[in-house]
Amino acid sequence: MLSRKRTIAAGVSILLLILCLMYRLADIQLISTKSFSKNNVNLIQESVNQRTHRFTINDGRGYFLDRNGELLSTDVKPQIVVFPNLYKKDWPIVTISEILQLPPQKIEEMIYQLKKPSALLLPAELTLQQMNRINELEIPGLYAQLVTRRKPLPFANHIIGAVGEDPDLIKQKYKDKLDKGTVSIATKTGKNGMQYTFDPFLISEGETQFIYHVDRQGNPLFGLDVKYRTQTNPLYPLHVKTTIDKKMQEAVERYLSIHQVEAGGAVLIDVETNELLAMASRPVFNSKTIYKHENKMTTHQIPGSIFKIVTAAAAIEENKVQNDKRYDCNVNIYGKQDERQLGMLNFEESFSRSCNKTFGDLANELVAENNNIIEEYAEKLGLLEFNGWRGQVYHFDNFSHFYQEEQGQIRNPNKKMQDYQSPLAISQTAIGQLDVRITPLAAANMMATIARGGTWSEVKAAKSVNFANGTELVEFKDHNGKKESLSPYTMMRLQSLLVNVVKDENGTGHALQSLPFQVAGKTGTAQKGEEANVYIKWFAGYFPADNPKFALVVVDMKHDTVNRTTSVYADIAKVVMEISDREE
């Protein structure tokens, strides 16, 4: 009896196992063919991929152009594409070698080394004439083609950003496209920078490829025909025309590297249009550190004496400046002897030589009448809000040109108001220390605002989004926020103060006197947290001072004994002016 029960149990177990295997097989073959397992694998597509040799000419993703129409995010190069399994001895190798000006054996050697469809690594760039002659031969498996490839990450690293696969993001943002089959979970999306913010316009609607089907042994399935597959909509891919000047961007990156700025960066703005011309942040990221190294130009930093511009503006506007009054600049805001013995200075001298005591005293005088006056003037100069372009674009209510831009702050929101009411706390705030934080982008925009005489507007990083044929899809109009928020007299005084920082032989920016044009600006040095020997060094300004064209901010967040900021600023400014003169 026991033996019979065991037999039945074993039989039932085997039957259940067979049923499970049958269900599993049915699931694979019939039920979950397009969404198998928790990873939603498309088994039909994967099966096709195993039997397909392909070469991608263009991934179908939209791209970025600079303000002059030059490619920023991609390179387009003429290349020879070879399907090695279609190579036959009757190929006209001699004719091909004559066109490419390479020995026949060298070409055969390159082909034999290929394991899959690839572009030949030629010693010289292919010309369009050579491309046409190759294609006239009509050789199966050999094609001359303009191939699009993404630029290496270091160029315009943080402002343009990177792309990569993110199945979760695809499911979250593009469920409708995923359901329609226009995208897959393997479609690349923007990870950061403008690649992320403009991703809805840039995401690929289909790749352009050479496709060739083979059997298990790699032999042709459908003869020697290689298919050419491309997007069905001729208006795609879209492209973004940015405001960036490629040559100026290259100059900014080059001099940050030459002067070994390890942490920090630079922002360059066109004063007249308030458009971003260049932005670079250090350290750059790679595919493994995309989320580790943020864009320091759009995240808030300790401004140090850059913030004295705000205190000066408040003092001028509120009639607290007495031209004949002198301040004891041998003493610091702590009431002790200062490291720099500057002597007795008036207001203008205090600004150009960056005396902390003067601006600490003025701030206390101002706050005695209005507790929020420093915050009010920081807001008038645009330091406490988003400075990058943002607004409604189609159904995107808060579309932004800048990825994860931060707003500035005067106080830490987690602290109490009374923490900022002591004379020392007021003085520290007045000179851009304590909990004051602004972004370098905001600082550059403030300089552009002062250079224009007071009109503030958001900084644009893109002019438009266009169809493939150049027709405009979206135009980004100027967003003017504050108009003449400070009196013309105050703006004129600020301009004069900024010029004197460089003109004054004892001014903190006097090193820029060697340039062939006048620079107006302000230096800033801020202690970085608790690290006593590590400072954030700034130079923010505009040039030429008598006819402002460019606002530039340079930040070195790992300043030690070497003053890099003015050297970087001088080199960038000089090249930018040269480029500008040539473009005009």
Q: What is the DSSP string of 516-557?
A: SS--EEEEEEEE-TT-TT-EEEEEEEEESTTS--EEEEEEEE
Q: Are 419 and 294 in contact (CB under 8 A)?
A: no
> Which of these, 316, 362, 331, lies nearest to 489 by C-alpha position?
316
Phi/psi at 335 (5° precision): 80, 10
Is the separation of the CB atoms in 82 and 111 below 8 Å?
yes
Map tokens 């891919």 to a residue. 237
Whether cis (ω within 30° of 0) applies to the bond prior to 234 is no
> Which residue type, as a one-letter code, is found at position 371?
N
Helices 308-317 and 373-380, interaxial angle, to 10°?
A: 100
Is the omega angle on the peptide bond into residue 283 within 30 degrees of 0, that is, cis?
yes
Q: What angle (nearest 5°) sits at the alpha carbon of residue 336, between those of residues 331 and 338?
A: 50
Contact 404, 296 (CB under 8 A): no
Residues 78 and 129: their CA atoms lie apart, in Å, by 10
Residue whose pair of structure tokens reads 């040799």 in the numeric block: 53
- For the annotated catalytic residues, the residue numbers are 305
DSSP string, 320-351: ---TT--EETTB-TTSSB-SS---EE-HHHHH
Instruction: State whether the Cα torsion 502-504-510-513 is positive or negative.
Output: positive
Burial degree of 262 (CB within 10 A; 0-12, 13-18, 19+): exposed
Q: What is the C-alpha to C-alpha distance for residues 171 and 176, in angstroms, rounded to an integer?
A: 9
Tokens of 579: 């480029």
Distance (Å, rounded) from C-alpha 134 to C-alpha 112? 19
Q: Which helix (H) or strand (E) holds 581?
A: helix 565-583
- 276-to-242, 382, 570 alpha-carbon distances in Å: 9, 16, 19
Residue 79 three-state SS:
strand
Please give the Cα distance from 163 to 202 (Å, whole number).
11
Nearest Cα to 312, choosing from 346, 349, 344, 351?
A: 351
Instruction: For residue 9, give the amino acid letter.
Output: A
